[in-house]
Amino acid sequence: MRKMPPDDTNHEVTAVTSKPQDPGRPSFLDRAPEIRNALYEALFLFENPLAFTRRNAHARLIFPSVPGIKLLHTCKQIHKEASGVLHSRNTFNFTITDGEDLSTSRVGKWLKTIGASKNLLRVLNLDLSDLCSSLHCQSYGGIDLLPLLKQTALSGSHGSLQISFIHQVGKLCVKCGTNTKSWSSELQVLNNSFKILILQQPLELRTGLRCPRSVTRFEISLDSSTVEMALGKPRRRSYDDWPAVSYFKIKDGQFRRVPSPTRMINLANILSTPLAHKILKTFVSTSGDTVYDLKKRTISRKLPAILQVNHSIRDIVAELMEDQSLTVKLSTEDLEHGFDDFALLEDWAGQMNRDVGACSLIDSQVHFDFETTTQNGLASMPLKANALVCATRLLHSKSNLHYRMVDANNKQVYEQTSVVLRTLRFNFLVFLANLVDTHPAHLLLPCPVIWADCQGSMLYAEFGNKGTGSEIVVNKLVGRKWHNEKKMEKTCCD
């Protein structure tokens, strides 16, 4: 059994406090600057470079063993003065090993750790002794300089900071066993190219470094012939072929961007997404009719210019409009003399052809509402077939033309009928053909004004100026042959 310590009722806790410094004694900061600098140089100035090595993949990035390093944490003024000697008057070496995937991430982490002191750095070496030039060893493609450039190129310290690639003479490549001495000249070329790259700083590099998520890798080949900047993938994107900006070195040592090949975008896949379909559907609503009021000369809805961007968009819009109907409100003071104004219907068809480009593929439902205050029937009202055929020439032949006789408030329908557009076109062409066969002399005359009824049957034709009396009467059609009967100056069919 564990024995408990004896209960000492006379135990007293004594508070231990440090004695205040004698104000009369001088402190370290009261010493002359020459004395303080001499101490800093004795502690933090070294003949050999301070080497950062990584012996294993899980080693932490720590400062090299430097005597008196804890002096930096004494106070801000001592840290500022000592850092000026430590960082500006020493050389720092970072070993790039194969285990790091040829990245300068450890260098970037260290530069971020020292904060503003990185602006005091003068010499920074990247030791490639464990690697081999890509001319000798194809195992290495290039070195990712992005972590280093983010900490140096943007801080403004690259102007006074000398960054160099070095190697240890006589050391063999761990991949192919090549002596690094055999490519010392290539390292010199790499150093020169790196300096040019830092000073040149292409626009894409400056923009990418200021947007940490836009660039994921900035790789320079070991032979310094090419530079590639990989662009990062934004969130919620699933593209596998995300682009990269490449540069190649030209004769004067400068880097020129490699023209990127044209990337084919499958617009059909993009437009097939629910979001794209929803957006297009807002432009072409399938609920309700599109109303053209010819009496007021107004159009309820106009297709936007975005539909002119691409044929794929127009095809989808055409599919959305297949179930859409069009209501055309017509009015005339004299229904018995017919209706000949289909200009707005023709404007709508032309607009559809420009915006959608596939108007002939649309199976439209066109409704004609004739306003009337009398009980005149549709059979007694002729329509100008020329204008109607011309106005509907861009519609699909299967489109239906619906006619209704309604009151002024569209509350009561007196009569309604319909005709397929194909029937109207066929009867119109047959009428013209038989008219020319019967009267060849009329080939020298302008095209007559042909009137039809709401069932698509041709009624009669007018030649010459209206009211001059130069009119030819055509009797009803029997089979495919027309029988003429001259009675008066103007006679309607039976």
Residues 285 and 303: their CA atoms lie apart, in Å, by: 10
Shared domain check, 449 and 357:
no
Q: What is the pLDDT of residue 252?
A: 64
Residues 334 and 346: their CA atoms lie apart, in Å, by: 22
∠ CA 196-199-204, nearest 5°, is 100
Shared domain check, 250 and 200:
yes
What DSSP assignment string belongs to 359-392? Answer: GGG---EEEEEEE-SS---GGG--EEHHHHHHHT
Shared domain check, 178 and 109:
yes
What percent of the chain stands above pLDDT 90? 0
Q: What is the pLDDT of residue 327?
A: 62
Q: Which of 456, 448, 401 is nearest to 424 (CA)?
A: 456
Would 17 be classed as within a structural domain?
Answer: no
**Beta-carbon neighbour count of residue 110 at 10 Å?**
19
Q: Which of 87, 92, 182, 90 is nearest to 131 (CA)?
A: 182
Number of compact structural domains in the chain: 3
Shared domain check, 50 and 142:
yes
| Three-class SS state of 51 | strand
Residues 97 and 132: their CA atoms lie apart, in Å, by: 11
Q: What is the pLDDT of residue 479?
A: 40
pLDDT less than 50: residues of the chain = 1-2, 5, 8-18, 56-61, 134-135, 138, 235-241, 286-288, 294, 297-302, 358-362, 465-482, 485-494
Look at residues 381, 402, 421 and tell me which one is the last residue of a structural domain: 421
Shared domain check, 439 and 365:
no
Q: What is the pLDDT of residue 358?
A: 46
Q: Which domain holds residue 35?
A: 28-257
Q: Which of 370, 387, 391 is nearest to 379 (CA)?
A: 370
Would 302 be classed as within a structural domain?
Answer: yes
Rg (CA), the chain: 45
**Beta-carbon neighbour count of residue 309 at 10 Å?**
10
Q: What is the pLDDT of residue 490?
A: 39
Shared domain check, 406 and 320:
yes
Would 12 be classed as within a structural domain?
Answer: no
Would 51 be classed as within a structural domain?
Answer: yes
Residues 230 and 145: their CA atoms lie apart, in Å, by: 12
Q: Going edge to edge, which strands form the sheet with 413-420?
A: 298-299, 290-293, 325-331, 365-371, 400-406, 413-420
Look at residues 421, 449, 467 and tell me which one is the last residue of a structural domain: 421
In the chain, the N- to C-terminal Cα span, in Å, equals 130
pLDDT for 415-434, tens place per residue?
Answer: 788 888 889 989 888 888 88
Shared domain check, 184 and 37:
yes
Residues 249 and 252: their CA atoms lie apart, in Å, by: 8
pLDDT for 302-317, tens place per residue?
Answer: 455 555 566 666 666 6
Shared domain check, 329 and 245:
no
Q: What is the pLDDT of residue 347?
A: 72
Helices 33-44, 76-88: crossing angle, 10 deg rounding = 50
Residues 296 and 328: their CA atoms lie apart, in Å, by: 11
Shared domain check, 404 and 309:
yes
Query: For residue 154, what is the enclosing H or E element?
Result: none
pLDDT for 203-237, tens place per residue?
Answer: 656 666 666 556 777 777 766 667 777 766 554 44
pLDDT for 124-138, tens place per residue?
Answer: 888 877 765 544 554
Would 23 be classed as within a structural domain?
Answer: no
Q: What is the pLDDT of residue 236?
A: 44
Shared domain check, 434 and 411:
no
Look at residues 421, 452, 474 and tell me which one is the last residue of a structural domain: 421
Q: How far are the Cα atoms of 17, 36, 143, 325, 417 from residue 401, in angstroms, in the given order?
A: 104, 101, 71, 10, 9
* List of residues 6+ apart from 412 with CB closer than 8 A: 406
User: Contact at 8 Å (CB) between 63 and 111?
Assistant: no
Would 491 be classed as within a structural domain?
Answer: no
Shared domain check, 416 and 451:
no
β-strand 226-231 against 244-249: which pairing, if any?
Answer: antiparallel
Shared domain check, 69 and 199:
yes
Would 449 be classed as within a structural domain?
Answer: yes
Strand partners, 229: 218, 245
Would 4 be classed as within a structural domain?
Answer: no
Residues 29 and 44: their CA atoms lie apart, in Å, by: 18
Residue with tokens 């003479």: 169
Q: What is the pLDDT of residue 475?
A: 43
